[in-house]
Amino acid sequence: MENHKNILNNIKRYVDLNESDSKQFSAIITTLKVKRRQFIVQPGFLCSCQTYVLKGALRSYFINNEGVDHTIQFAIEDWFISDFSSYINQEPASLFVEALEDSIIQQITYDDVEKLCRENPKFERFFRLVAQKSFAFSQKRVLSNLGKSAEERFIEFQNIYPEIVLRVPQYALASYLGMSAEFLSKIRKRLAIKS
């Protein structure tokens, strides 16, 4: 249960767990090492797991019909990532989930989570609260993309997630922010000159 300490601490931020709860959750976790550029989800295949990042950095993204890459989410230590639509609806994925660094991840399957939530209301509450938080974040991101300039979006992201800005490739950050890598480079140069 020692290597499950981080994910259990994450859960304890939302719900109280006793030792029995912790053991019950630990029993369904699979720990994996993934290499940089390795995919854990690919379009067309069922995304049957939620992934928790123990160490490393991952991103989810899709490629549109013109071949343009659009980053949906980054995940670093202590974050969850998945193709949540595929996972929740048990349908083929539309996203890639890729390791940006050599990473250690922990996964829990859809079936195990469903069983766990039926058996223990604490976990039902945890997963509901995480889903609500994720939905609220997605809504804020849409509003930011619709209402702010590219420079404002970058500054906001850099202020909230400075570690991600330092760790992820510029092309991935640019695609998350809805701009080209070249345009992001110009923004960064302009901001560096200002300061």
pLDDT tens column, 73-93: 999 999 999 999 999 999 999
Q: Are 8 and 25 in contact (CB under 8 A)?
A: yes
Tens-place pLDDT, residues 14-68: 999 999 999 999 999 999 999 999 999 999 999 999 999 999 999 999 999 999 9
Beta strands in 56-171 (DSSP E): 58-63, 69-75, 80-81, 96-99, 103-109
Joined tokens for residue 119: 């058996």
Distance of alpha carbon 133 from alpha carbon 136, whole angstroms: 5
Element (H, E) at 129: helix 121-147
Element (H, E) at 139: helix 121-147
**Fold annotation for 2-119:** Jelly Rolls (2.60.120)
Q: What percent of the chain has pLDDT over 70?
A: 99
Alpha-carbon distance values, 31 to 42, 106, 158, 179 (Å): 19, 4, 30, 35
- Mean of pLDDT values over 109-133: 95
Q: What is the mean pLDDT of the chain?
A: 95
Element (H, E) at 39: strand 39-41
Alpha-carbon distance values, 160 to 132, 143, 153, 171 (Å): 20, 16, 11, 19
Query: Domains of the chain: which residue ranges?
Result: 2-119
**Cα–chain center distance at 60:** 7
How many contiguous H segments (helices) and E segments (strands) does the chain have?
Answer: 9, 8
Give 51's strand partners. 81, 107
